[in-house]
Amino acid sequence: MSGKVLEINDLHMVYSGGVHAVRGISFNVNEGESVAIIGSSGSGKSTVLRCINRLIEPTGGEIYLKGEQVNTPHTDINNLRSRIGMVFQSFELFAHLKVLDNVTLGLRQVRKMSKREAEEQALAVLERVDMLDRIDAYPGNLSGGQKQRVAIARALAMKPEVLLFDEPTSALDPELIGSVLKTIRGLADEGMTMVVVTHEISFARDVADRVIYMDQGVVAETGPSSIIDNPETERLKKFLSSINEEN
């Protein structure tokens, strides 16, 4: 594990309504590392993730991508975003484009590739997520799991330096979660740097190199994935037990 890909220092986010969602969070993500952020809803997990590629403008703190500061007005944010892949909870595929075009759009428009080049690269990524057989389908005709895999392919096609997953499985039926998790696990095994916000505790335990537990906008506990089995703080214990009750 070499070099920090992401560095987050004292991140604050106050929404315009006055909600202080993130209150000074700092963590690093190293090359090839997969970090899982867990926590109850409203704890600020997704806000942190969205701050990283500035879909939300953080109100304080610094974010660096490979040493380059993300949150200054002077950064070329479009270029930076193209280096940070993002997968959304509800997929957000472009409904009017076929699967293949969803994946090639960024390559054509941002990377300025030729149609042939873009399609080659897209097909390679779609093969990785096992969606080669549906490249001509519209998103509306795909199942949730398929959609999410296409969304992963769309992010992956840009060859990002880090992939952000915003609760990638929480909008899926339980039987469809498996295929998506398998895909993400495969990416982790290949050494993709990832930050995963998730409710899948078992997934966090199995895949993540490191787990960050957030509560009320701060990091309540952090450590290797083993902390899920042996939580140190009361808050994490309580959180884990409440989840186990649900299951």
Q: How far is the CB of 6 from other proteins (least distance, A)?
A: 15
What is the maximal distance between C-alpha atoms in the chain?
55
Nearer to other proteins, 73 or 245 (CB): 73
DSSP states of 29-71 = EETT-EEEEE--TTSSHHHHHHHHTTSS--SEEEEEETTEESS
Our CA angle for 189, 102, 57, nearest 5°, is 75
| Lateral strand order in the sheet of 60-65 | 20-30, 4-14, 60-65, 68-69
Nearer to other proteins, 166 or 215 (CB): 166
Nearer to other proteins, 34 or 71 (CB): 71
Give me the residues that bind other proteins (CB under 8 A), please.
Answer: 53, 55, 73-74, 78-79, 81-86, 88, 90, 92-96, 105-106, 109-110, 137-141, 154-155, 158
Nearer to other proteins, 55 or 240 (CB): 55
Q: How far is the CB of 147 from other proteins (least distance, A)?
A: 10
Rounded CA separation 192/207 (Å): 12
Q: How far is the CB of 50 from other proteins (least distance, A)?
A: 8
Nearer to other proteins, 132 or 137 (CB): 137
Q: How far is the CB of 230 from other proteins (least distance, A)?
A: 36
Q: How far is the CB of 220 from other proteins (least distance, A)?
A: 27
Nearest CA-CA partner of 35 in 207, 178, 189, 182? 207
Q: Which residues contact 100 (CB under 8 A, 6 or more apart)?
A: 119, 122, 123, 126, 135, 136
